[in-house]
Amino acid sequence: MSEAPTTHLQVDLTEREAAILDFEDSWFTSAVPKEQAIMERFSLSSARYYQQLNALIDTQQALAYRPLLVKRLRRMRSQRQAARSARRLHA
């Protein structure tokens, strides 16, 4: 009797990268404002946190780890970029 092969998706994220994605998926449950939670948890300014998050969501590893979150964040980023472009064209 042979067993079906088990496939495990290899996700090569650092603990910090995984923590950032986990945080982004659940920050709204925090009792403190998001910016404060970012500083307390990661010792980062909000600007630096978002720089790291935006770079992270462009990776295949992040997509494999949290596909729904990453797709939603990518979509939201694209919408913001399109809105900025539209404002520039109408200015």
Q: What is the pTM of this model?
A: 0.79
CB 56 within 8 A of CB 14: no
Share of the chain above pLDDT 90, in %: 70
Q: Is the pLDDT at 9 greater than 70, yes or no?
A: no
Please provide residue 66's backbone torsions phi and psi, each rounded to the nearest 5 degrees: -135, 75
Write the DSSP string, 38-80: HHHHH---HHHHHHHHHHHTTSHHHHHHSHHHHHHHHHHHHHH
Closest residue by Cα to residue 22 from 66, 57, 61: 66
- For residue range 10-53, what is the model confidence (pLDDT) as tens digits? 568 999 999 999 999 999 898 999 999 999 999 999 999 999 99
87 — pLDDT class (breaks 50, 70, 90): confident
End-to-end CA distance of the chain: 70
Higher pLDDT, 86 or 15: 15
